Amino acid sequence: MRREKGEAVLKGKCLLEPLDFSVEEMDGLFADTERIIASPEKYSEACKGKILATLFFEPSTRTRLSFEAAMLRLGGQVIGFAEAASSSVAKGESLADTIRTVSCYADLAVIRHPKEGAPKVAAMNASIPVINAGDGGHQHPTQTLTDLITLKMERGGFEGLTIGLCGDLRFGRTVHSLIKALSRYEGVTFVLISPEELMAPEYVRRDLEMNGAVRFEETRRLQDVIHRLDALYMTRVQRERFFNEEDYIRLKDIYILDAEKMKAAKPDMIVLHPLPRVNEIAAEVDDDPRAVYFKQARNGMFVRMALILALLGIETA
Ligand code: NCD
């Protein structure tokens, strides 16, 4: 990617947390993404001879496949596993040893793990860039890149937006990362919509309280606030992080966005969702032009192409 003078370079860095890259570095990545979207064929050989390892210790559809598709569309190759049971972890190997070994084979590694902080441990033991593709209920910074590029393309930027985040704000790692990343932009208002048990964790709310540049409010009722939102980020109740099934069953259908509720929303409010969706968005909403979650999934592949190029330090004109 041709870079303007002074533009930051991400070569060799890891992406573990949403604030690992500066605002300027993120801007560079988004500009690269838009160039890739405009002419993807130009990049079809950019990663020839390079290998990406995808180490997934937890289920995934979009994140793993979009990383793999991104690398293949760049002309690179992919190795990896989609569940811990098919790796030597099943024999008792430590994550440190797994990543040391993977560093011998690949140029870049993407890791998803149920334990919070596992990608950081991997990065400490790796000699290649490591990307966090979701660690427990903690963070998911590449989903945030996907969310931000979609907001940027659909709404023109982030400043001054009122963003509703609805559903499981406690265990939903995409929400934690998105709030952190958006908190760096002026005039953003967050409307956190959840039942008490699924409120955003203390550390996320404390950061918001201490940040003078953003405002936030909390409510239980989507209907009361939907008319004020510029973007609504719906989330799935994270069944796998619940301690008991009864609580999950009680809370799982607490919010269902349907055509009726969409009537109260602004004509230009966009609906985002990291996917997978369970019941929280009725299928009838899919045909509403404001529903951009499948576009968002597609953008995720392009922004991951830009990320791979940046971390490998591959410059293309
Ligand atoms: C999210 C995740 O894994 O945290 N999925 C994704 O990567 N797009 C959201 C979810 O699982 O609910």
Distance 188 CA to ligand 1 centre (A): 23
Q: Is the dihedral of CA 183, 292, 272, 232 positive or negative?
A: positive
pLDDT at residue 99 above 90?
Answer: yes
Banded model confidence at residue 8, pLDDT cuts 50, 70, 90: low
| CB-ligand 1 contact for 144 (6 Å cutoff) | no
Residues in the chain: 317
Yes or no: say if 148 and 174 are a contact pair by the CB < 8 Å rule. no
Of 66, 132, 174, best ligand 1 pocket probe by most atoms within 8 Å of the beta carbon: 174
The terminus-to-terminus CA distance of the chain in angstroms comes to 5
pLDDT of residue 89: 82
Is a pLDDT exceeding 50 seen at residue 6?
no
With a 6 A CB cut-off, is 134 part of the ligand 1 pocket?
yes
Residue type, 36: I
pTM of the model: 0.96
Which residue lies with its CA nearest to atom 11 of ligand 1? 276
Q: Is the pLDDT of residue 4 over 70?
A: no
- What percent of the chain is predicted at pLDDT more than 70? 97
Nearest of 176, 236, 163, 167 to residue 205 by alpha carbon: 176
Q: What is the mean pLDDT of residues 244-254?
A: 94
Q: Which residue has the higher pLDDT, 6 or 316?
A: 316
* Gyration radius of the chain over CA positions: 19
Inter-residue contact 125 to 211 (CB < 8 Å): no
Q: Give the pLDDT band of residue 84 (cuts 50, 70, 90).
A: confident
- Cα(4) to ligand 1 centroid in Å equals 34
The full set of domain ranges for the chain reads 4-139+298-312, 141-297
- Calpha distance 299→301 (Å, rounded): 5
CA of 5 to the centre of ligand 1 (A): 36
List, in sequence order, every beta strand (DSSP E) within 220-269: 231-234
Cβ-count burial of 191 within 10 angstroms (0-12 exposed, 13-18 middle, 19+ buried)?
A: buried
Domains 4-139+298-312 and 141-297 share a fold: yes
Is the distance from the beta carbon of residue 64 to the nearest atom of ligand 1 less than 6 Å? no
Residue 1 has pLDDT above 80, yes or no: no
Alpha helices in 126-166 (DSSP H): 141-155
110-114, 143-147, 210-214: which range is least confident on average? 210-214
For 153-181, write each residue's pLDDT tens digit: 999 999 999 999 999 999 999 999 999 99
Burial of 104 from C-beta contacts in 10 A (0-12 / 13-18 / 19+) = exposed
Average pLDDT, the chain: 95
Is the distance from CB of 17 to CB of 132 less than 8 angstroms? yes
Pocket test for ligand 1, best of 65, 236, 242, 275 (most atoms within 8 A of CB): 275
* Contact (Cβ atoms closer than 8 angstroms) between residue 304 and residue 6: no
* 18-74 per-position pLDDT tens digit: 999 999 999 999 999 999 999 999 999 999 999 999 999 999 999 999 999 999 999
At the fourth CATH level, which superfamily is domain 141-297? Answer: Aspartate/ornithine carbamoyltransferase (3.40.50.1370)
Residue 5 pLDDT level (bands cut at 50, 70, 90): very low
Contacts (Cβ under 8 Å, ≥6 apart) of 119: 16, 111, 113, 130, 131, 132, 133, 135
The class level of CATH for 4-139+298-312 reads alpha beta
Q: How many angstroms is it from 173 CA to the middle of ligand 1?
A: 8
Of all protein residues, the one whose alpha carbon is nearest to atom 8 of ligand 1 is 274
User: For ligand 1, what atom is nearest to the CA of residue 62?
Assistant: 8
Span 254-263, average pLDDT = 98
For ligand 1, atom 1, name the residue with the nearest CA: 274
Matching residue, tokens 């690949």? 106
The pLDDT-based confidence of 2 (bands split at 50, 70, 90) is low
From 140, 175, 255, the mutation candidate for ligand 1 (largest count of ligand atoms within 8 A of CB) is 140
**What is the phi/psi pair of residue 2, to 5°?**
-75, 130
